[in-house]
Amino acid sequence: MSTTISVRLPDNLANELNTISKETERSKSFHIQKAVELYLTERADYQIALDRLNDHTDAVISLDDMRTNLGI
């Protein structure tokens, strides 16, 4: 199942999307879907990092300790 969503892009992004679609022989929808998937994954990772940064109960590990723990 899929949902249709309308989006407005600045001309420069629309032109770049058209170019990439032609070069790869993939639809604009394919590239937009992949871009949104990547954004959501990166955004989730960013939020986890922020949450950990702001969690004062989360222990801070020195670089030397981390290297020792990883065996490098």
* 29-64: pLDDT as tens digits: 999 999 999 999 999 999 999 998 899 898 888 999
Q: Is the pTM of this model over 0.75?
A: no
Q: Cα(14)–Cα(1) distance, rounded to whole angstroms?
A: 26
Q: Are 31 and 20 in contact (CB under 8 A)?
A: yes
pLDDT at 31: 97
* 9-23: pLDDT as tens digits: 999 999 999 999 999
Structure-derived torsion over alpha carbons of residues 41, 47, 53, 59, reported in degrees to the nearest 10: -60
Length of the chain: 72
Residue with tokens 């992004």: 13
pLDDT at 60: 84
Residue 70 banded pLDDT, cuts 50, 70, 90? very high
